[in-house]
């Protein structure tokens, strides 16, 4: 079998997993905070406002503790997309390199990524910091992944085997189109018309992604 792409770049929130991590955390802070952050996330994912304008603000509202992030790990585990583990395994078996590029919190995504066989260097996400008591103390605001076009910069610097396919659901994912051979809009959990309109392919499941790449 010959794969159409030698590399796959996967988004995490609303792609590999059904949840949006920051929205899940916001739900622990009550309905007002949850609604405000969900609306902000949606606007950023639709490309209506730049991610850098809201990334720090969202975390400042949520202030996720170490315990909160530990709980988020479990939420990620239970929300992995149907068929994703098998598809990732099948892609690797055909020599396709698969990497994760996410604006989510590294400490929440890392355990799930390792369980799915990703190496440390194949997970690109944003570090969060805590004080000695485990309370929120900030995040890595130097990470390009906190910006609207940061995923593009990360993929450009990753030197992935070509041709490469990026897969995601939001405007920050669509931005990767400038660094890969093609972009697939993942609509298995949420469909954003502007993202679909800019995509080369549309996948509604990981089975469809496997068929796209492996035929």
Give tens-digit pLDDT for 171-184.
Answer: 999 999 999 999 99
The distance of Cα 72 from the centroid of its chain, to the nearest Å, equals: 14
Q: Is the dihedral of CA 215, 170, 190, 28 positive or negative?
A: positive
Look at residue 2 and tell me if it is in a domain: no
What pLDDT is recorded for position 1? 62
Look at residue 35 and tell me if it is in a domain: yes
Residue 32's domain comprises 7-214
Q: How many domains does the chain have?
A: 1
Which CATH number covers residue 88?
3.40.50.1000
In angstroms, the CA 142 to CA 187 distance is: 30
Tally Cβ neighbours within 10 Å of residue 177: 16
- Exactly one of 11, 23, 68, 173 is catalytic; name it: 11
Look at residue 142 and tell me if it is in a domain: yes
Look at residue 28 and tell me if it is in a domain: yes
What pTM was estimated for this model as a whole?
0.94
Please write the tens of the pLDDT for every residue from 17-66.
Answer: 999 999 999 999 999 999 999 999 889 888 899 989 899 999 999 999 99
Look at residue 122 and tell me if it is in a domain: yes
Look at residue 1 and tell me if it is in a domain: no
Strands 164-168 and 123-126: unpaired
Look at residue 71 and tell me if it is in a domain: yes
173 catalytic residue (yes or no): no
List the chain residues with pLDDT less than 50. none
Look at residue 107 and tell me if it is in a domain: yes
68 catalytic residue (yes or no): no
């Amino acid at each position: 079998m010959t794969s159409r792409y030698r590399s796959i770049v996967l988004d995490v929130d609303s792609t590999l997993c059904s949840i949006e991590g920051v929205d899940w955390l916001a739900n622990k802070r009550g309905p007002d905070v949850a609604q405000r952050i969900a609306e902000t996330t949606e606007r950023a994912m639709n490309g209506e406002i730049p991610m850098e304008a809201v990334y720090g603000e969202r975390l400042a509202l949520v202030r996720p503790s170490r315990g909160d992030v530990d709980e988020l790990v479990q939420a990620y585990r239970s929300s992995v997309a149907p068929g994703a583990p098998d598809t990732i395994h099948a892609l690797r078996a055909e020599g396709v390199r698969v990497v994760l590029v996410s604006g989510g919190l590294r400490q929440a995504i890392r355990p799930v990524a390792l369980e799915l066989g990703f190496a440390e260097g194949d997970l690109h996400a944003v570090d969060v910091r805590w004080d000695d008591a485990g309370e929120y103390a900030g995040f890595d605001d130097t990470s390009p992944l906190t910006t609207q076009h940061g995923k593009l910069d990360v993929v450009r610097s990753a030197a992935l085997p070509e041709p490469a396919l990026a897969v995601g659901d939001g405007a920050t994912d669509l931005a990767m189109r400038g660094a890969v051979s093609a972009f697939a809009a993942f609509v298995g959990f949420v469909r954003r018309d502007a993202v679909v309109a800019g995509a080369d392919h549309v996948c509604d499941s990981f089975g469809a992604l496997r068929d796209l790449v492996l035929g």
